[in-house]
Chain A
Amino acid sequence: AQTVTQSQPEMSVQEAETVTLSCTYDTSENNYYLFWYKQPPSRQMILVIRQEAYKQQNATENRFSVNFQKAAKSFSLKISDSQLGDTAMYFCAFTALSSGNTPLVFGKGTRLSVIA
């Protein structure tokens, strides 16, 4: 079974600074996707960024980028130029491509607070 671990329950960052959220996962699969989802207070979960395991290049979406270390099974999220609107719960998630995609497995989340 796959597991996803987020070791930082809470983090805070000053506005305009950079913050990195950690995620590790455990799997015996070779083909899979990794995701970071954002869940603002009382709002729906939205995708921030995703990474295909077969791609060596780290994914980037505007101010969001990942550091994907396949051998170490590590998948961290870097948020640059943090904004107040980035305040949210952030969840790391995993899905394997075997059997046409296993359902997403989520970590417990990291609560990020951006401070003005």
Chain B
Amino acid sequence: DTGVSQNPRHKITKRGQNVTFRCDPISEHNRLYWYRQTLGQGPEFLTYFQNEAQLEKSRLLSDRFSAERPKGSFSTLEIQRTEQGDSAMYLCASSPQPSGNTIYFGEGSWLTVV
């Protein structure tokens, strides 16, 4: 078990470009979460999946953001037409069912939009 893996770890992009982050959860974890964290703040929930179904999306997830988990394993988070305000760390986490279990975080993907 290698834990939750995220890549790339760091991404610098120009405003207006599209970026995609990938998350590989711990194997056999049904749930996968995406959070966003800015400096000095706690993580803010973006969206989560149970297997391949996207069950909830935060209002923070504007229409420029899209997340997928096509086969219920890895997930991608795409940001289109990036803005400077998108600069943040994007955290992925996973957890097994049943409810109440601990969620395990990856190391995060840092995005800087210049």
Q: Which residues of A contact B (CB under 8 A)?
A: 4, 6, 33, 35, 37, 43-47, 50, 52, 91, 93, 95, 97, 100-101, 103-109
Q: Is the interface of B mostly helix, strand, loop or mixed?
A: loop
CA distance A104 to B100 in the complex (A): 10
Contact assessment for A44 and B107 in the assembled complex, using a CB-CB cutoff below 8 Å:
yes
Taking CB atoms, residues of chain B closer than 8 Å to A91 are 42-43
Q: Which residues of B contact A (CB under 8 A)?
A: 31, 33, 40-45, 48, 56, 91, 97, 99-100, 102-108
Sample of 29 A–B contacts (CB below 8 Å)? A6-B42, A35-B102, A43-B107, A44-B105, A44-B106, A44-B107, A44-B108, A45-B43, A46-B105, A47-B102, A50-B102, A52-B100, A91-B42, A93-B42, A100-B97, A100-B99, A101-B31, A101-B99, A103-B48, A103-B56, A104-B33, A104-B43, A104-B45, A106-B43, A106-B44, A107-B42, A108-B42, A109-B40, A109-B41
CA distance A52 to B99 in the complex (A): 12
CB B103 to nearest CB in A, in angstroms, measures: 6
New A-B contacts (18) at CB < 8 Å, excluding given A97-B100, A108-B40: A33-B100, A44-B105, A45-B43, A45-B91, A45-B105, A47-B104, A91-B43, A93-B42, A103-B45, A103-B48, A103-B56, A104-B45, A104-B103, A106-B43, A107-B42, A108-B41, A109-B40, A109-B41
Shortest Cβ distance from A46 into B: residue? B105
CA distance A6 to B104 in the complex (A): 22
Taking CB atoms, residues of chain B closer than 8 Å to A4 are 42
Shortest Cβ distance from B34 into A: residue? A103
CA distance A44 to B9 in the complex (A): 12
Contact assessment for A106 and B107 in the assembled complex, using a CB-CB cutoff below 8 Å:
no
Shortest Cβ distance from A111 into B: residue? B40
Shortest Cβ distance from B110 into A: residue? A42
Shortest Cβ distance from B97 into A: residue? A100
CA distance A6 to B41 in the complex (A): 11
Contact assessment for B105 and A106 in the assembled complex, using a CB-CB cutoff below 8 Å:
no
